[in-house]
Amino acid sequence: MGGLLPLALLVVLSAAAAAPQLVGAARGDHSLPIIQEDIIRTVNNHPNAGWTAGHNPYLANYTIEQFKHILGVKPTPPGLLAGVPTKTYSRSEKEDLPKEFDARSKWSGCTTIGKILDQGHCGACWAFGAVECLQDRFCIHHGVNVSLSVNDIVACCGFLCGDGCDGGYPIFAWQYFVENGVVTDECDPFFDQVGCQHPGCEPAYPTPVCEKKCKVQNQVWEEKKHFSVDAYQVNSDPHDIMAEVYKNGPVEVSFIIYEDFAHYKSGVYKQITGRMVGGHAAKLIGWGTSDAGEDYWLLANQWNRGWGEDGYFKVIRGMNECGIEGDVNAGMPSTKNIAGSAFAI
């Protein structure tokens, strides 16, 4: 069932807090680079790795500590998930799913599905994954191509979602969409155009202040809000996840990150080496089977195109690798505020 990842993270991170040596504080994480030659060699020399490790330009200047900071999924206390519905599909709905699927191809007119975003130095992957999936679903279900604002939710969700650029809870991002909506990226962009006084660009800057005012003159904040009808988790059975993506579009998944993931270049990822460093969220857009016969999930990351396979990555499917099938979140887009939208296609 949904919620397995938050519980796993809660246990592991609590243990790490009680024993700092487990997360390598003594090894100088503030100065050591996350990209490590020994990890690259270990992965590439492993006979059953199934993936290739290398130097990702996006993380070239990141220390281990800075890398930990962008892994912004906080462990959700299990009690807070009690009222969250879990979606399952009937046997008949899961029988005729294709062996390979890519949301970019099925909904080729939805340009947001193929966009790779950049969270910068802000630990807001929890917000990025949610915003990306919701905007994709607006196009899929309502024919509206719209880019939504990560900045709105990072700055304005407050304690409901967590701590902004210092991490948050994916499911509560979806609940924010239900209760408050999210404005367009044009109204409240994540990256500033002048000087970039923002944690997306520079790690020295804190979570942005919630202003509830569009940056574009004559645009009204409340009129630019886009809402979700609901917020739910998807059952952890891989076929339930596949049915949800096939029927409704991309979903947000959370999973545990180990040091070797930073080095992913291609192939089907499974954890080989390195320490656990945090929790991350990304957008799951499809699935398939590799030439070597490994079933995989296809996902879009938000570390720009200088990481992984042009910003994308694959993870082994059906094994709940790093908890990736245990915390799947989504919601359906609302028609509120979109009538007559200039973005309609």
Structure tokens at 73: 């999924």
Place of tokens 């040596």: 21
Selecting among 133, 145, 280, 322, the annotated active-site residue is: 280
Which listed residue (122, 125, 133, 322) is catalytic?
A: 125
Residue 280 annotated to the active site: yes
**Closest C-alpha among 198, 139, 102 to residue 343:** 139
* Nearest-angstrom CA–CA distance, 338 and 14: 43
Contacts of 195 (CB under 8 A, 6+ apart): none
d(CA 64, CA 252): 25
Which DSSP state fits 325?
T
DSSP 85-111: -EE---TGGGTT--SSEEHHHHTTT-G
Q: Is the dihedral of CA 41, 35, 18, 252 positive or negative?
A: negative
Residue 125 annotated to the active site: yes
Catalytic residue, candidates 142, 301, 322, 329: 301
Give catalytic residues, as residue numbers.
Answer: 125, 280, 301
